[in-house]
């Protein structure tokens, strides 16, 4: 379409050149000028040329793709929406709101904070933003019962740690998770659990070391270390850990506090 119009414009331009040559290029020789046959008057040619030029310009404008302005979604807006959805799901009465706690932490390596939501001592959620979309890292993880003291993280390293005790503290299981932003998944750092077991004795003399012996004072300070069922040394055990200054993943701010901070 555009090529057709351009050819049309070129044709009109050639007519203009012929007219110019006929009228000025032959001096005062009126006979030669009269021999040039011109079907259109100069005024008509100018109008036709102007019309073609306008058509070319309009066609060019139509063919230039209009780039729509893409508004970048702020993590602030996404978090505010997530908070509102959270309180609607859990309960948004004044009594319910007083139980919830929120926070902004730097869990992964970028400069966008992650959102913590939950009920302290019961459960916790953790969210981040990737490519303009909110992504769940931790979804309603329970703690505060059964020896589970909660979850900790290494700032800007994407590491989550949990210590869960059993048998009245005689066994302590440790778990590490690593955040994979590309897969958008929090994965176990190891295939097996890490466990520290305190040695305890058969206090009641029934031939079995069990929970009763622990309660009666059979627990000692001697510790055995395990990777799954494999008994390993303390030095080997340390190689499975991620050292650093851990911080708890639990909210400190009320609903009003977090909304005020995001505003």
In the chain the beta strands, taken as DSSP E runs, fall at 100-105, 114-119, 123-130, 133-142, 148-154, 159-166, 171-180, 185-188, 194-200, 219-227, 230-232, 246-248
Q: How far apart are CA 70 and CA 76, in angstroms?
A: 17
Q: For each of the chain's 263 residues, which pLDDT tens digit applies?
A: 545 544 554 554 454 444 444 444 444 544 444 444 445 555 665 566 566 556 656 655 555 454 555 456 799 999 999 999 999 999 999 998 999 999 999 999 999 999 999 999 999 999 999 999 999 999 999 999 888 999 999 999 999 999 999 887 889 999 999 999 999 999 999 999 999 998 887 777 776 667 777 777 777 889 999 999 999 999 999 999 999 999 999 999 999 999 999 99
**Contact (CB, 8 A) for 255 and 97:** yes
Q: What is the pTM of this model?
A: 0.70
Give 204: exposed, middle or buried? Use CB within 10 Å, 0-12, 13-18, 19+.
middle
């Amino acid at each position: 379409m555009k090529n057709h119009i351009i050819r049309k414009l070129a044709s009109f331009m050639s007519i203009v050149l012929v007219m110019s040559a006929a009228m000025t290029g032959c001096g005062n020789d009126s006979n030669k000028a009269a021999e040039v046959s011109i079907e259109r008057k100069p005024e008509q040619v100018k109008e036709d040329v102007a019309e073609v030029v306008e058509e070319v310009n309009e066609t060019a404008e139509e063919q230039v793709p209009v780039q729509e302005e893409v508004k970048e979604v702020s993590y602030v807006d996404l978090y505010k929406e997530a908070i509102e959805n959270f309180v609607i799901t859990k309960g948004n009465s004044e009594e319910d709101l007083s139980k919830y706690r929120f926070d902004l932490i730097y869990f992964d390596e970028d400069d966008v904070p992650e959102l913590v939501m939950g009920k302290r001592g019961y459960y916790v959620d953790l969210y981040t933003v990737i490519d303009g979309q909110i992504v769940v890292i931790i979804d309603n993880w329970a703690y505060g019962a059964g020896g589970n003291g909660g979850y900790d993280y290494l700032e800007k390293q994407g590491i989550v740690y949990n210590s869960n005790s059993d048998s009245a503290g005689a066994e302590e299981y440790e778990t590490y998770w690593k955040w994979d932003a590309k897969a958008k998944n929090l994965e176990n750092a190891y295939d097996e659990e890490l466990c520290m077991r305190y040695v305890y004795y058969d206090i009641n003399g029934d031939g079995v070391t069990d929970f009763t012996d622990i309660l009666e004072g059979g627990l000692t300070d001697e510790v055995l270390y395990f990777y799954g069922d494999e008994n390993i040394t303390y030095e080997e055990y340390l190689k499975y850990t991620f050292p650093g200054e851990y911080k708890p993943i639990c909210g400190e701010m009320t609903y009003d506090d977090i909304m005020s901070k995001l505003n």
